[in-house]
Structure 1
Amino acid sequence: MSRNRTKTLRQFNDQDLKDKLSDLKVDLAKLRSESIKGTLKKEAGVIRWKRRDIARILTLMNERTGAKR
């Protein structure tokens, strides 16, 4: 799976972003469980990028809703 760029994520509609977010969360959970077991080898750095992609999607979703503090 390739990294998600903000430019391409902005082209998605809300439902696509939610689907992408749920997929990333599932992938991250699998990677974390493999990391705990000690079976994670080559993809050790992928956890960081998955977390950042999740944060990027959440930021876009918050921007679209106009959530202000």
Structure 2
Amino acid sequence: MKAHVDQDTCIGCGLCPSICPEVFQMNDDGKAEEIVDEVPTTAEDSAKEAADGCPVNAISTS
């Protein structure tokens, strides 16, 4: 599974790294970014939870 944060949509709320720090972190611009190419199997559920919880739907998973 892969995760992607749309930088143009992200508002930098910090929800995704608080839910799934294995996959997301805040960058120097104050926006979230994915930090892995492939989401670890053990983090798939929390990555999906972070995507579902994003208030502006900036995260896609596939």
Instruction: State the TM-score, normalizing by the size of structure 2.
Output: 0.34
Between structures 1 and 2, the one with greater helix share: 1
- Greater gyration radius: 1
Instruction: State the TM-score, normalizing by the size of structure 1.
Output: 0.32
Between structures 1 and 2, the one with greater strand share: 2
